[in-house]
Amino acid sequence: GISKINEYEVNGSAKHGGDIYAGEVEVNGSLKAESNVIIEEEMEIGGSANILGGLKCPKTEVGGSLSVKGTTECKQIETGGSFRGERITAEEVSIGGSGGFTSADISSELTVNGSVKCEGALRVPMLEINGSCRVGDDSNISECEVNGSMS
């Protein structure tokens, strides 16, 4: 079954085989999770995070890039590098690099330093992008600030 860890702290890098189910996660290096990551409070990764399953976490902070193969459900996501994900549900997302999603439903704000490509629908009230932006059909963006091109 799933073992729950209250605080998952790693000074170096971590590679985890099964599901990670924890109260808080703090990894100074990079994290590679082969399955789902379910966190009750917050996850802080100094390096990059590669999650082959889904991610469910109220507050996610990644210094490097974040890659999630499954569904992402978070309140806040902040990455220093790029963020690649499939289906994303969040309140506030801030990406230091570029963003690439299959679809994204963000209830408050999406801020991206690089460019964004969303294959499907991107639904967000406020979008701020320094690079170019490509979004799929059925996208719904209330306010948009793009320094690059938009299509």
- In whole angstroms, what is the distance from residue 58 CA to residue 127 CA? 21
Same domain, 99 and 67: no
pTM of the model: 0.93
How confident is the model over 90-104, as a mean pLDDT? 98
Residues 10 and 75 in one domain: yes
**Structural domain ending residue among the three candidates 20, 48, 81:** 81
- pLDDT at residue number 42: 97
Look at residues 26, 50, 81 and tell me which one is the last residue of a structural domain.
81
pLDDT value at position 3? 62
Give residue 76's domain range: 1-81
Burial class (CB in 10 A: 0-12, 13-18, 19+), 2: exposed
135-150 average pLDDT score: 90
What would the pLDDT profile of 115-132 be if each residue is shown by its tens digit?
A: 999 999 999 999 999 999
Indicate whether 63 and 98 sit together in one domain: no
